[in-house]
A and B are shown apart, each in its own frame.
Chain A
């Protein structure tokens, strides 16, 4: 082994193996073009190339690979939703994560350590009971726990007995977990690239040519390509890109901010969140405490952070774990979330026959990476929206068939 290593080290013309090839020139035509090189788009490319034999695929990314919301979220994977449609969908997302490292032959560091959501009021506890029963009905591992059990699950929590934010109980979701976001995107990208999918970084979509009710070509910053099908999975730019295709979206953009502390010894095994405090915390495998929280209070199309929101995050974190008060922050950032009126994504058909949507992922997109990719690929391959995606259509707004998941996250309310 050391000798082989030495031989490679001294060899002048040794070319190291690249899992993601350099961006090639654009071909004139692709069967499928995926707009957005984040987790969702790359997952769709993987499923198209591996399970449907569709390999003449290009992923167009305006910036660099997985540099948008895939890199900016706080990597919570869970299925503690409240409507039948959502639970069914996110439950499959969790089970796909359980098998992802094997599927991709790439360690995505999935760590299923459970998520604990805290209740500081009787009203929250009541809503937890409903949420737990809905989850149990669908076979997810979820239950309401009392303060004693909360202490057992997370001994370092400040229970704040008699205080303003006393912990009266929690929602214990054992299926919850976390994974390494970069590994998820890179794993999908590497698998797709190995099967012939082209990944075009720094390639911006500028417009569409349509004939009848179909997109015939996409104009990009590096030339025009004709297309069979298009999948739009552009994260914070979803509304902008849809507008280029002449599609109106019920989306407003809000920044979502997060930050991490310096690495600490492992003490926080579970994911902890509190909707009242607009805070959630998880300790990464490097030991850093990842702190996420509420969206900005008014809409912006900007990734600049604000001191106000960072103070709010720090306040929530110190309330739950007072000993974090003198811990230093290492990094902070913001992402642009594409929020829908009912806090549920928009997937499936669009007014254009060969243009498929994967939009409105707001603050809840990372956990759905594999399942969205899987069923979008299925949809494109069969030219028919997969059954599990039907409730999430753009048309649901006109039919007043909204799927209210406003309470499903600690982020936005």
Chain B
């Protein structure tokens, strides 16, 4: 069984979690053009390497961020969404 480290609940079985897809920038639905709106809805990160994703610990409904390698299937890091701006600024 694969173990994921939940920032709130500690290490848990990965079957307790739901993957919600890659982190991407929000757009303003009122002002955005068709092409950018389409891109926001349908185009997601799919690289062979480390990607940053939203995950949820399903029983506690806690949302957080995980960094995962899509080729080796390794979980590199997990952290609270509140740390996201600080980490994105650094990278």
Contact = CB atoms under 8 A, between A and B. Distances in A.
Given A302-B71, A398-B35, A248 B19 contact: no
B83 interface: no
A274 to B, nearest CB: 20
Nearest to A339: B46
Contacts of A299: 19, 46, 51, 70
Nearest to A255: B73
Interface string B32-50: 0011001101111010100
B52 interface: no
Contacts of A308: 1-2, 14-15
Interface residues of B, number: 24
Contacts of B53: 298
Interface residues of A, number: 22
Contacts of A388: none
Given A298-B19, A302-B71, A397 B42 contact: yes
A322 interface: no
Given A308-B2, A398-B34, A248 B43 contact: yes
Contacts of B2: 306, 308
Contacts, number: 50
A327 interface: no
B71 A301 contact: yes
A408 B34 CA distance: 29
Nearest to B34: A398
Contacts of A341: 41-42
Interface string B46-89: 10100101000000000000001011110000000000000000
Nearest to A398: B38
B73 A302 contact: yes
B46 A298 contact: no
Contact of A250 (B14, B18, B43, B51): B43
B60 to A, nearest CB: 18
A249 B14 CA distance: 29
B73 A304 contact: yes
B46 A302 contact: no
A297 B42 contact: no
Contacts of A298: 19, 53, 68
Contacts of B19: 297-299
Given A308-B1, A341-B41, 11 more contacts: A239-B46, A248-B39, A252-B46, A253-B46, A298-B19, A298-B68, A299-B46, A301-B46, A302-B73, A397-B38, A398-B38
20 contacts: A239-B46, A250-B42, A250-B44, A251-B46, A253-B46, A253-B70, A299-B46, A299-B51, A300-B70, A300-B73, A301-B70, A302-B72, A304-B73, A307-B1, A341-B42, A397-B41, A397-B42, A398-B34, A398-B35, A400-B38
